[in-house]
């Protein structure tokens, strides 16, 4: 019998909702340039800012992107943040030596200041026994990669797509044994992540926007995956703009075809013409 969790993963990943009313293109960049001093730029990383790779460790920062982000940080007086499922440590390794404000780990971590680590926020770690049982799922097939973030555990199967159903069914069985455990399963692009319930990218963005230099600004969020939909959903309440990448997601203001288009868009925001 198929587990409900496996069915949910397939439904969310392969039949993502599309809104026929979504514009085919993004707004002309020049329409935003005069207002960068009133805008908060929020960017997902994998599949949005950076191209997807066979494994999470293979992503890289293309030439020119670092300079673009630095200039956007200056133009927005620091109101630029990365919003990712990756940990803060992972984000720093990818973009080193540059350091950015960030909502990391799907809201489990947050960096409010690039100058003071005391301001960083971290969720509590997952139970060790639970992590041990979840980690054993990686043995189902070669190509399943295990990522332990402390507060969550991710099973990447881009190199073993045939194992998708088995992974989600195994996770479902573990959850059935622990019905009261405060955990949540996040299906993504060839990844199944298990984390503490109670925080999402949306809760992280809500909290981030309460602090300087983001407070009072209009958020502009760009994301590509299922986990970004929680942020898409709150943008109207924040008078914000939302853009999807690779697909026309429901409720967004427009979409990009690929991360390269996102990078070009960000660079054009800085064009003085």
78 and 204 together in one domain: yes
Q: Is 44 marked active-site?
A: yes
Q: Is residue 3 part of a domain?
A: no
Number of domains in the chain: 2
Q: Is residue 8 part of a domain?
A: no
**Distance from the Cα of residue 226 to its chain's centroid:** 9
pLDDT digits over 65-94, tens only?
Answer: 999 999 999 999 999 999 999 999 999 999
Q: Is residue 227 part of a domain?
A: yes
* 185 DSSP β-pair partners: 194
The tokens of 5 are what? Answer: 């969790």
| CATH number of the domain where residue 161 is located | 3.30.70.1020
CB atoms within 10 A of CB 25: 10
pLDDT at 54 over 60: yes
The pLDDT assigned to 186 comes to 87
pLDDT digits over 207-218, tens only?
Answer: 999 999 999 999
Q: Is the pTM of this model over 0.85?
A: no
**Distance from the Cα of residue 98 to its chain's centroid:** 19
pLDDT at 192 over 90: yes
Catalytic entry in 11, 19, 20, 44: 44
| CATH number of the domain where residue 57 is located | 3.40.50.1000
213 and 88 together in one domain: yes
Residue with tokens 């332990």: 148
Residue with tokens 């973030």: 149
104 and 217 together in one domain: yes
Q: Write the DSSP string, 9-24.
A: HHHHHHS--B-TTS-S
Task: Give the domain extent around 107.
Answer: 31-123+199-269
The pLDDT assigned to 141 comes to 95
Q: Is residue 11 part of a domain?
A: no
The pLDDT assigned to 77 comes to 96
List alpha helices for the chain, DSSP H: 4-14, 65-75, 88-95, 128-135, 164-177, 201-208, 229-234, 259-268
């Amino acid at each position: 019998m198929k587990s409900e969790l496996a069915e949910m993963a397939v439904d969310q990943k392969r039949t993502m909702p599309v809104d026929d009313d979504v514009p085919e293109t993004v707004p002309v960049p020049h329409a935003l340039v005069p207002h960068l001093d009133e805008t908060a730029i929020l960017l997902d990383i994998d599949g949005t800012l950076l191209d997807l790779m066979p494994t999470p460790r293979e992503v890289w920062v293309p030439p020119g992107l670092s300079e673009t982000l630095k200039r956007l940080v200056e133009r927005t007086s620091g109101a630029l943040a990365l919003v990712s499922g990756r940990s803060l440590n992972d984000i720093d390794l990818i973009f080193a030596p540059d350091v950015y404000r960030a909502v990391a780990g799907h809201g489990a971590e947050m960096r409010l200041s690039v100058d003071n680590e005391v301001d960083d926020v971290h969720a509590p770690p997952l139970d060790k026994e639970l992590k041990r049982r979840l980690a054993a799922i990686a043995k189902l097939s070669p190509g399943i990669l295990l990522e332990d973030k402390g507060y969550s555990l991710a099973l990447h199967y881009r190199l073993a797509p045939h194992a998708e159903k088995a992974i989600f069914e195994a996770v479902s069985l573990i959850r059935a044994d622990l019905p009261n455990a405060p955990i949540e399963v996040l299906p993504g692009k060839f990844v199944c992540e298990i984390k503490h319930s109670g925080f999402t990218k949306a809760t992280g963005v809500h909290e981030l926007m309460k602090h300087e230099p983001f407070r009072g600004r209009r958020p502009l969020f760009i994301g590509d995956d299922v986990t970004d939909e929680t942020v898409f959903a709150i943008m109207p309440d924040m008078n914000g703009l939302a853009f999807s990448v690779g697909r026309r997601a429901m409720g967004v203001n427009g979409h990009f075809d690929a991360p390269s288009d996102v990078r070009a868009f960000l660079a054009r925001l800085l064009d003085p013409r």
